[in-house]
Amino acid sequence: MKSNDMVANQRAQMLLATGVVLLLSLLSMAVFSVKVAGLTSAHEPNADSVIDTTKEVVDILPSLAENRTEIWVTNGMDRIDAAELAMSSVHDDLLHHGEIRGVEVKMLNITVVELDTSSIEISLELGVTDDSSTLQSEITFVIAA
């Protein structure tokens, strides 16, 4: 009797193992099919995140930099130093904001040039990236400071 019970237990374990392997195979095929089906979709609603974020940054950046520069100049800081600090703080805020939205916002090669006694020119390279696309832009604007 012990021999028949042992053979029955082994057969049951082999059947269970075969079922688990088959289930895992079906699951992996299903996941692959969903990924492939997603590649053929014409438009994903979140695919515009890089373009939308770039547009928002370009629209808000001059006024944001000007306001922050003005605050630090009013408190006695040098105009160029205030503009550089303003751009540094804006970069930090945008980097953190982008992480929340699932995009990365980087400002590189920021240059601040004094044009005259009341205006400053700021130039930079803006890069916005998500998991599937990247958009790089050269931006130049003038602020009153």
Whole-angstrom CA distances from 66 to 31, 61, 118, 126 are 50, 8, 12, 18
Residue 32 class from Cβ within 10 Å (0-12 exposed, 13-18 middle, 19+ buried)? exposed
Measured CA to CA, the distance from residue 80 to residue 73 in angstroms comes to: 9
Residues 82 and 106 in one domain: yes
- 61/129 same-domain check: yes
Q: Does residue 15 sit in the same domain as residue 77?
A: no
Closest CA to 127 of 100, 105, 103: 105
Q: Which tens digits make up the pLDDT trace of 25-69?
A: 888 877 766 666 555 555 455 567 888 888 999 999 999 999 999
Decide if pLDDT at 141 tops 90.
yes
- State the residue range of the domain holding 79: 46-144
Mean pLDDT of the 109-119 span: 93
Distances (CA, A) of 2 to 6, 8, 10, 12: 6, 10, 12, 15
* One domain, residues 64 and 28: no
Instruction: Give the pLDDT confidence score for residue 19 in this predicted structure.
Output: 83
| pLDDT value of residue 39 | 56
37 shares its domain with 57: no
Structure tokens given for 49: 């995140």
What's the confidence (pLDDT) of residue 37?
A: 58
What's the total number of domains in the chain?
2
- Tracing tokens 């699951």 back to the chain, one arrives at 27
19 plus 53 within the same structural domain:
no
Which strand (E) or helix (H) includes residue 41?
Answer: none
CB-neighbour burial class of residue 61 (10 A; exposed 0-12, middle 13-18, buried 19+): buried
Do 73 and 87 sit in the same domain of this protein?
yes
CA separation, residue 36 to residues 29, 30, 42 (Å): 10, 10, 13
**Model pTM score:** 0.65
Q: Are residues 18 and 59 in the same domain?
A: no
Question: Is 94 within 8 Å of 86 (Cβ atoms)?
Answer: no
Mark whether 52 and 123 lie in a shared domain: yes
Average pLDDT of the segment spanning 7-35: 78
Same domain, 123 and 88: yes
| pLDDT at res. 78 | 94
Query: Is residue 13 located within the same domain as residue 53?
Result: no
Q: Are residues 75 and 137 in the same domain?
A: yes
* Measured distance CA(137)–CA(128) in Å, rounded: 9
